[in-house]
Amino acid sequence: MKTLLLVIIEQILINRGIHANNVGKKRFADQVKFRSTPSRSLIKMISANRALSFIYKTKIFAKKQ
């Protein structure tokens, strides 16, 4: 049989582990929520590149005619 002291120590350690796990998850969620994702900035770069390419091509096409 476990003594009362061992049971209390085990419960404290379990509670600390649960608390640390929840704090870690919350911090990770906050970081993900407020950080700009690389894919979002990559999409913006590709869109800008396509727009510039389209403008450049239309100017060359307009000069030829």
State how far Cα 53 lies from the chain centre. 31
Say yes or no to pLDDT of 36 above 60: no
pLDDT of residue 53: 82
pLDDT of residue 8: 79
* Band of residue 37 on the pLDDT scale cut at 50, 70, 90: low
* Residue ranges of domains in the chain: 1-34, 37-65
pLDDT of residue 54: 80
Mean pLDDT computed over every residue of the chain: 72
Residue 10: partners with Cβ closer than 8 Å, 6 or more residues away: 2
